[in-house]
Amino acid sequence: MVVGGHEDHSGARRILREFVRLSGGFAARIAVVATAAEDPAAAAAAYVDAFASLGAPARAVRVADRREAGDFAVADLLRQATGIFFTGGDQLRITAMLGGTPCEAALRQAHGAGAVVAGTSAGASAMSSTMIVGGRSDASPRREVVRMSPGLGLLPELVIDQHFAQRGRLSRLLAALAQNPGLLGVGVDEDTAFVVDGDGVLRVVGSATVTVLDGRGVRLSTASEADLDQSLTLTGVVLHVLSDGYRFDIRARRPYPPAPEGAE
């Protein structure tokens, strides 16, 4: 589950409720990882309280540095979780702290066994193999408007940006796609999320939209020859804007309407 940030914590809480449901409901074992946050203890506590208010047991799993990420007892907490939730902050901290450690191995093992792995804001960006770590939101697409780094790789076909419409991040997602046209660029608005099931189908949940940029048909990209501060030319990008309930098949690269009522 990839969340665009600023999800509702006090109203209907649709996104948090859906994460709890997917994690097992009242029987869920939720681990909150606030490695990305400036104040990890406060960030983790806010989500632990939010999940508790929805009737789901949750605990903060502290991974503040690589020593803690190498602790097998901490890794076991992730391995046993049915839902793992990464908070916002700085996405580079997630990969820098977890990469190559027992905690990363436990995360992948839990995910492979069926645990739901979710991230909001910075935690959302970290889900892809090619991760956006920063850039400008107020310029035409240029190589300099986006900075990228390897991510966790749980969604290897995607490059993800968050707070998308609210912070005007279309240009930097286009710049990322110009340099990686084989990927799908996915921008997630605030209080909006998408869930990817085992068949590779993306489903939108929330109050705003998910924007999908498909670069597979790109005919021209000047990303390889343009200077860092030079505007890019990019032709042949297909853009989809999907609201609540709409789906997108990542492998076939096709959008679909919401599933019939009662169907998952």
Residue 131 near residue 149, CB atoms below 8 Å: yes
Burial 119-141 (b: 16+ CB within 10 A, else e): bbbbbbbbbbbbbbbebebeeeb
User: How are beta strands 130-135 and 254-256 bridged, if at all?
Assistant: unpaired
What phi, psi does 214 have (nearest 5°)?
-105, 115
- Name every residue whose Cβ is closer than 8 Å to that of residue 25 and which is 6 or more positions away in sequence: 55, 56
The continuous run of DSSP H or E covering 53 comes out as helix 40-53
3-state secondary structure 184-228: EEEEECCCEEEEECCCCEEEEEECCCEEEEECCCCCEECCCCCCC
Which residue, 64, 86, 97, is CA-closest to 5? 86
Catalytically annotated residues: 121, 163, 190
